[in-house]
Amino acid sequence: MKRDINQNDAIWVRSYQKGSDKAFNKLYDRYERPLFSYLLKMLNNKQIAEDVFQQTWMKVIKALPEYREQQRFGSWLFGIAHHAAIDQIRKTGKQLVDEFASETLDEIDAGAETPDTILIKDEDSARLYEAVEQLPVAQRSVILMRLHGEISFKEIADIEKCSINTVLGRMHYAIANLKKVLVTDTQKRSSYVL
């Protein structure tokens, strides 16, 4: 069962526009952790993630009185954060293109392993976290926006100004690459034990 978060967001937005500052607190509390986690994993640096997080909310506060619900609040918020994060990554001179773009989807073979077989212990969430951080930016952004931000693939395509097929391709690459990273990591660990 899932609450209709979008409907409640729209209520808080309208309430804020009508002068209820408490309504903003509810929007903030709802998105604080998913948005900050998204930025933290995108930028891999707590201080920079906090700066971008703050800039994002400042932009939202400035624009909110004129916001007219042409898109979902969550999608709008993540869109602002995503572009700010990409600007920040550009400043550091990192590559934004897909590192695996030359491969076709059929060529990627990450083996038959599933999360159940690769990640079986509690401490594996830390390994998965590290594996997500190693993904190319474009893939990381899709997987995190979809799974942490609950942004739909269509909305991600709008945010990233690309086709939905590109977004789905990145999702597929992201999962395949996560498997590769985790399987390699598992093999390394096994060899240490032996």
Partner 1 sequence: MFCKEFNENGWLYLSDELDGESGKYFEEHIQHCTACQAQLAEARQWSNVIDKLPLHRPSGTIRKSILREAKASCPPKEHTGFFRKWQYSLSFGLPGLAAAALLLLILIKPWNHSDTQVVDILMWDDSVAIEMIDLSLAIITMEKDYNENYENDDVDFLEETTLSVFHDELSDLRTELENYNSMAESI
Site for partner 1 in 9-48 (CB under 8 A): 11, 14, 16-26, 28-30, 32-34, 36-37, 40
Among residues 45, 59, 147, 183, which is the contact residue for partner 1, using CB under 8 A? 147
Instruction: Count CB neighbours of 26 within 10 A.
Output: 16
Binding characters for partner 1, 155-174, by CB under 8 A (x = yes): ---------xx--xx-xx--
Nearest distance from C-beta of residue 46 to partner 1, angstroms: 8
Q: DSSP for the chain, please give it.
A: ----HHHHHHHHHHHHHTT-HHHHHHHHHHHHHHHHHHHHHHH--HHHHHHHHHHHHHHHHHHGGG---SS-HHHHHHHHHHHHHHHHHHHTT---S-TTTTS-GGG----S--HHHH--STTHHHHHHHHHHHS-HHHHHHHHHHHTS---HHHHHHHHTS-HHHHHHHHHHHHHHHHHHHHHHHHHHHHHH-
- Closest of 80, 72, 68 to residue 7, by C-alpha: 72
Site for partner 1 in 56-115 (CB under 8 A): 57-58, 61-62, 64-65, 105-106, 114-115
Among residues 42, 43, 48, 49, which is the contact residue for partner 1, using CB under 8 A? 49
Nearest distance from C-beta of residue 194 to partner 1, angstroms: 27
Instruction: Report how many residues bind partner 1 under the rule CB under 8 A.
Output: 63
When the beta carbons of 89 and 132 are compared against partner 1, the nearer one is: 132
Residues lying near partner 1 in the complex (CB under 8 A) are found at: 1-4, 7-8, 11, 14, 16-26, 28-30, 32-34, 36-37, 40, 49-50, 53-54, 57-58, 61-62, 64-65, 105-106, 114-116, 119, 125, 128-129, 132, 143, 146-148, 152-154, 164-165, 168-169, 171-172, 175, 178
